[in-house]
Structure 1
Amino acid sequence: MCTDADHGDDRGDLGRRALLVTGAATALTLGTMSFADAAEGSSSTRTLTGTLPPGAPDFVYLPVEVPRGVREIRVAYTYTKATVPAGTQNNALDIGLFDERGTALGGEGFRGWSGGARSEFFVRADDATPGYVPGPVRAGTWHIALGPYTVAPDGLPYTVTVTLTHGEPGETPVPSYPPQRARGRGRAWYRGDCHLHSWYSDGRRTPAEIGALARAAGLDFINTSDHNTQSAHAHWADVAGDDLLVMLGEEITTRNGHVVALGTDPGTFVDWRYRARDNRWAKYADRIRRAGGLVVPAHPHATCIGCGWKFGFGEADAVEVWNGPYTADDEVSLADWDNTLVSYARSRGSGGRGSWLPAMGNSDAHRDPDRVGGPQTVVLADDLTWAAIQAGIRAGHAYVAETKDVEVAFTASGGRGRTAGLGERLAVAADTPVTVTLEVRGAPGCTLHIVTDEGTLFTSAPLPDSGTGTATWHTTPSYAAYVRAEVRHPATVPGLPGALTAFTNPIFLGA
């Protein structure tokens, strides 16, 4: 335990720790850092040093006893990078804060998270570092949360310094949130990017800068998705306007994958401190839906540590198939998503009536040169409102495009003048002739592809310099359970497909 001197120093050694079971995973709790009452206007500082071993729990909590009369809590931390062999992960340590209400999963004690984006932060009633929630610094046991993301073989040495400033607390501002409606065009196609990071997590752009880039990219709507914090929600009202709908959410960043909460109620926090093996995911997916949001697993086959999605898609409302510049992991995600369509078609063929998983694409933009709106999801919605956009995404009435210049129209027709569009079913008999039509604009030099449950069954010649073209293909429901479209750049590696310019959700065929 730290001394009551103005500057104490203690070692968070392994022999002095307590190992707790939180109900979801083990967590390490260090010795308590205590502070005494002090005069108004004065400050008190304590420092803790220690080393976390390889295999440390996902979260390490440092209790801080906060006395009455504290105006501000300020935390700074450092940790040591090691010299490691090639291919061995080096040290990385995240940080966050919980107040006197505790660290229980899904509880009310959360006060902020900056991951590894900041080396220090503060919280007080009238203000807080981006990523943290303003509010009174009440007396009681607070907890600094350390997240050893990766630990080198020789351990992770760290130092945490806490400074309390005593005085009148100030007033907490009343938050203002963006409206849930913008000036739309009635039932129309609307363009959006639902995975964006501001300086309220590990991004480097302000909300105002993101808003300007969204408008330049031709977007009609965006969704905020800062990592593991809702603290940005109160800072987007001035960005929204008649021409830009701003939805609120969070990227829940677990150790077994990331998921975008899309369009949750203002101020909603969704906990992330669990793994797939903890059997907690369904509870937090339900938390997203109860708050009015969609559950969208992000970049499911990304190769960064902890990024690959391991919770399954049973709780998903949609899946982010294309994330940022098109790369090999997006191609794997596309193939994996297509397999879910095959599984759904097989289920219906055996009498099942389950749901299918729509796809979307987002930029995951953090900083320059990340391109907001690259890619973007183009949604057919009844209006430019949170509810209408969510309904369009959930129904699969959407395609994904590389830029605002790319436009896609994809339909299937057959039977007595019946026509179906994206996310719909052309309910005709198995032997009914079906005509599939694909129209594309803004894709010079690209090829058009029609894909079924059997694979790619049509490929066009490259489009002319105008970037405009049409493809027509004929089939029957007995031959193709669904059809979907892809627009691709020329291949750059022999034997591998070119990067996507656009792709659509499917149209299902058959009664």
Structure 2
Amino acid sequence: MRGTLPPGSPDYVYLPFGVPPGTAEVHVSYRYDRPAVPAGTPGNALDIGLFDERGTELGGRGFRGWSGGARTEFFVRADDATPGYLPGPPRPGTWHVALGPYTVAPQGLTYEVTVTLTPGDPGRTPAPVYPPGRARGRGRDWYRGDCHLHSWHSDGRRTPAEIAALARAAGLDFINSSDHNTTSAHPHWAAAAGDDLLVMLGEEITTRNGHVLALGTDPGTFVDWRYRARDGRFGRFARRVREAGGLVVPAHPHATCVGCAWKFGFGEADAVEVWNGPYTPDDEVALAAWDARLVASVRQGRGWLPAMGDSDAHRDPDAVGLPQTVVLADDLTREAIQDGLRAGRSYVAESRAVTLDFGVTGPDGRRAGTGERLAVPDDTPVTVRLDVTGAPRCSVRLVTDQGVLFTGDPLPVSGAGTVEWRTTPAYAAYVRAEVRHEAAAGPLPGALAAFTNPVFLGRT
């Protein structure tokens, strides 16, 4: 099948082909041209996926796999499939190759797709085995996790086993499977999980108007991605995530890659990924935007959105667990971790070496930690305290709805220290902590080593 897609083509183009009875395997390969383009002009990039005889309707009943631009060929059969694709018998009917012209050069994009059908006994599909929803925990405690990871089931280069080994080495207690637009990895995590590592299952729903994590959904839950913000369909699929027991978490909302910046708003979000991978200016913008939403939430008396941090690791040298979200949970289960994340009982750290103990105490001894409220009258003096370890020569900043109201001296080379600050709810509706490295140049703040979700002050 050959054709040319001009600039301005639809987001997805479907190529039909027939699968007769008695087909054992469907194999697809493709190629496309990459002409030279002027500097600053996107060239050709063509994604690919597969839908079976159940059709291409939004919702994904016929979905059989997606590899984006990570592979030039793939196969599906009853007992096996290329990573990114779902095994199952090649049932007879009209199937479709789905093409996604991610970017198209001014000259257009010329493609050739080859479908090879192998006859034979379709065979049987083994029942999938998924990782358990519980690992050996420590009761109510702080648990470290990385909820944005890519395996070779999308555009990553690591197997689930390799990712799990790196997660253990990074001191993580939980991770979340989040391959782009496919759930094919879900059964392959069972062997990688264990009593010491909780593996939650999900997807990075990768639309043309931003990416969003489906965090901790029921095994095998597929969430469609083929829509834009102007279509008004995101709410339907956010509900799909929640109905499957997951959280909706917009990822890297201010990333600059094509289609990465978040355009759907935050009304359907349960949390937001503020820090993604090694700290960059994109993350600084995301942090400032998140803080602005905190200010608006306290001034308008509405709910707030907790922050997270994840590595988005794909391949070497991407570090799993840089950063990591540290969450206070009742146990090491999917539901308990999600409860802690949803409530904002968490902070984000660059590694296992960094630990924070942050809270606000009133004159009567009552204390509130991250995600909680210390309900005292507006004129009541309260004490904000942060204990830090693992952050040598870093500085602490305390941020409120009025801005940065405290900046401490650099911590000693031991990386451990304590900061205390006195305020009142009238002066600070919330307070959160940032631990930053030394500034690289000029007056700009240094990169984050850690930051907390807020503690809210005053009566609601």
2:315 to 349, 359, 367: 367
CA contact (8 A) 1:415 1:433 kept: yes
Partner of 1:86: 39
1:389-400 to 2 correspondence within 5 Å?
389-400=337-348
Q: Secondary structure at the match of 1:117?
A: coil
Q: Residue 245 in 1 paired to residue 164 in 2?
A: no
CA contact (8 A) 1:265 1:291 kept: yes
* Segments ≥4 residues shifted beyond 2 Å: none
Partner of 2:5: 52
Q: Secondary structure at the match of 1:312?
A: coil
Q: What is the CA distance between 1:107 and its match in structure 2?
A: 3.4
Q: What is the CA distance between 1:416 and its match in structure 2?
A: 2.2
Q: Residue 117 in 1 paired to residue 65 in 2?
A: no
Q: Deviations over 1:414-471 (max 9, x none)?
A: 1422210000001000100011001100000100110001111111111111100111
Partner of 1:387: 335
1:430-509 to 2 correspondence within 5 Å?
430-509=378-457
For normalisation by structure 2, the TM-score amounts to: 0.99
Q: Deviations over 1:451-499 (max 9, x none)?
A: 0011111111111111001111111101101000000000002121100
Partner of 2:458: 510
Partner of 2:144: 191
2:372 to 400, 424, 437: 424
Partner of 2:349: 401
Distance 1:208 1:286 in 2: 31
1:91-490 to 2 correspondence within 5 Å?
91-348=44-301, 354-490=302-438
CA contact (8 A) 2:179 2:203 kept: yes
Amino acid at match of 1:471: V
Distance 2:385 2:401 in 1: 17
CA RMSD of aligned residues (A): 0.6
CA contact (8 A) 1:188 1:380 kept: yes
Q: Deviations over 1:200-221 (max 9, x none)?
A: 0000000000000000000000
Partner of 1:9: none
Q: What is the CA distance between 1:136 and its match in structure 2?
A: 0.7
Identity of aligned pairs, percent?
Answer: 75
Distance 1:130 1:97 in 2: 13
Q: What is the CA distance between 1:290 and its match in structure 2?
A: 0.1
Q: Secondary structure at the match of 2:322?
A: coil
Distance 2:358 2:365 in 1: 16
Q: Secondary structure at the match of 2:308?
A: strand
Partner of 1:11: none
Amino acid at match of 1:399: Y
Distance 1:132 1:478 in 2: 56
Amino acid at match of 1:70: T
Partner of 1:10: none
Distance 2:152 2:176 in 1: 15
Amino acid at match of 1:251: E
For normalisation by structure 1, the TM-score amounts to: 0.89
Q: Secondary structure at the match of 1:213?
A: helix
Amino acid at match of 2:87: P
Q: What is the CA distance between 1:160 and its match in structure 2?
A: 0.4
Distance 2:41 2:193 in 1: 44
Partner of 1:17: none
Distance 2:102 2:344 in 1: 35
Q: Residue 77 in 1 paired to residue 25 in 2?
A: no
Q: What is the CA distance between 1:185 and its match in structure 2?
A: 0.3
Partner of 1:36: none
Amino acid at match of 2:325: T
Q: Deviations over 1:129-150 (max 9, x none)?
A: 0000000101101010000000
Once the two structures are overlaid, the 10-residue window that deviates more, 409-418 or 182-191, is 409-418
Amino acid at match of 1:259: V
Amino acid at match of 2:271: A
CA contact (8 A) 1:415 1:428 kept: no
Determine which structure has more spread, i.e. the larger CA radius of gyration: 1
Amino acid at match of 2:378: A
Amino acid at match of 1:314: G
Q: Secondary structure at the match of 1:231?
A: coil
Residue ranges of structure 1 left out of the alignment (5+ in a row)? 1-47, 349-353
CA contact (8 A) 1:71 1:136 kept: yes
Q: What is the CA distance between 1:165 and its match in structure 2?
A: 0.3
Residue ranges of structure 2 left out of the alignment (5+ in a row)? none
Q: Secondary structure at the match of 1:87?
A: coil
Distance 1:95 1:367 in 2: 21
Distance 1:153 1:496 in 2: 39
Q: What is the CA distance between 1:405 and its match in structure 2?
A: 0.3
Q: Secondary structure at the match of 2:406?
A: strand
Q: Secondary structure at the match of 2:185?
A: helix
Q: What is the CA distance between 1:66 and its match in structure 2?
A: 1.1
